[in-house]
Amino acid sequence: MEKKELLKGMGQLGFPVLETEEDVDANETITGVIKSGNTRLWEGFPVIFANINKNHRYNPQAVKKALDKKEYAVFRDLVAMSVALYRFLKLKSPWLDTLRGESGAGDEKRIKELARGFDTDSEIRISNRQLDTQRIRKAFDSYFTQESADIDKVGRIRNELSLEYALSQIFTVRQKEIFLKRLQGRKLTKTEREYFYRVVKKKALALANPDLQRLAEQVIR
């Protein structure tokens, strides 16, 4: 993966090295981050891994196929580091449960070892690199602060990961992507715009109906 394309992919997956409106292969971006050996990009891994899982674009088979044995070991370690961070921050989301036993995330001993780095604000070692836990947390906090700001515009969210779960109950994966893309002010393609007005907007209008909300609250009591 060319450096320019890698930086574009990082921007689209929530780590703003370089912003882009072009679609990228998220799994190719993940492998590009691993192959780069760049400490700063590795420190941003929890951001892009959260994003790729949230949008259901993670393909573990594609990632494994693109990496050699040593690179895949780094990938497994970065996944374990990400899970350690998510647990340290007490984040919950359905996709986190799917990581158990997959891509190194089931290595509880390693996760706990990495979690101690976040507990003590000390550096952690991945392969032959020293990663700064404070920078990792800062990058992750900045990403979710921005995400929350976008969602606050419509007054719908207290927790970004809880919203992701709620949206999954209402919208299909593609509908959710278009909904969030519209919410964040990102440019929609002609096909996406047509689909938004034909399908997604109708569901959003139904969700915004105060009478429907009142009835829903009565039903779930």
The structural domains of the chain, with segments of one domain joined by +, span 3-144, 171-220
Q: Residues for the chain: how many in total?
A: 221
Residues sharing a CB contact under 8 Å with residue 124, sequence separation 6 or more, in sequence order: 81, 114, 117, 130, 131, 133
The 10s digit of each residue's pLDDT in 90-117 is 876 666 666 655 544 457 888 889 999 9
Matching residue, tokens 């996406």:
192
DSSP 129: E
Handedness of CA 64, 66, 70, 74 (dihedral sign): negative
DSSP 196: I
The percentage of the chain sitting over the pLDDT mark of 90, rounded to a whole number, equals 18
The 10s digit of each residue's pLDDT in 40-95 is 889 988 888 887 777 667 888 888 999 999 999 999 999 999 888 888 888 766 66
> Dihedral through CA 74, CA 59, CA 186, CA 188, nearest 10?
150
CB 99 within 8 A of CB 83: yes
pLDDT at residue 18 is higher than 60: no
pLDDT of residue 87: 84
**Rounded CA Rg of the chain:** 19
Q: Which of 29-33, 124-128, 156-160, 196-200 has the lowest mean pLDDT?
A: 156-160
Q: State the burial class of residue 190 (Cβ atoms within 10 Å of its Cβ: 0-12, 13-18, 19+).
A: exposed
Beta-bridged to residue 124, according to DSSP, are: 131
The percentage of the chain sitting over the pLDDT mark of 70, rounded to a whole number, equals 70
